[in-house]
Amino acid sequence: MSKITWKKAIEIAINREIEAASSYRQLAAKAMEESVRELFLDLAQEEDKHKEKLEKLDWSNLAEDDSTPPVDLGLTDGLIAESLSPEIPLQDLLVRAAQKEKQAATFYASLAQTTKSMRLKRLFRYLEKQEKSHKLRLELEYERVFLPED
């Protein structure tokens, strides 16, 4: 695994948030059920907010050698390659979205573990928790739609 700079890590995180927001908007357009459509649109807005937080980082207060650069986890590699066909079932959409949220949470957890900057650590922990909460929301919707109680 190659090492990357913090600026590159933040750039990757911003791109992940842009991609996630775009994916959720695409999923919302495909969703037939209103509650699922609203969930995807809400998650897209949250991903936009994450991107804004990352873009507003003040690098003048953070020394480049402030922390050890993280390793490249390669988590973004598979995200671009996936294509969504119009025929993909809702069940698969929810599963894929939840899996991507898990990948994002793992990515941010890794960044938080490797930084010595408390400011960055707090930011990455916050983003990790947000991605985990997105995964939970998707799993709850999955449970509601596909595993209803009798």
User: In this predicted model, what pLDDT tens digit does every residue of 38-63 receive, in sequence order?
Assistant: 999 999 999 999 999 889 887 665 54
For the chain, list the domains and their CATH numbers.
Answer: 6-146 (1.20.1260.10)
Q: For the CA atoms of 78, 36, 26, 51, what is the dihedral angle to 10 degrees?
A: -70
What percentage of the chain has pLDDT greater than the value 70?
A: 78
| Average pLDDT for 22-46 | 92
pLDDT at 43: 96
Cα separation of 148 and 150, whole Å?
6
Q: What is the largest CA-CA distance in the chain?
A: 57
Average of pLDDT values for 25-34? 88
Q: What integer is the mean pLDDT of 8-36?
A: 90
* Cα R_g (the chain), whole angstroms: 16
Chain Cα centroid distance, residue 77: 14
Q: According to the model, what pLDDT value does residue 45 have?
A: 97
In the predicted model, what is the mean pLDDT of residues 94-114?
Answer: 88
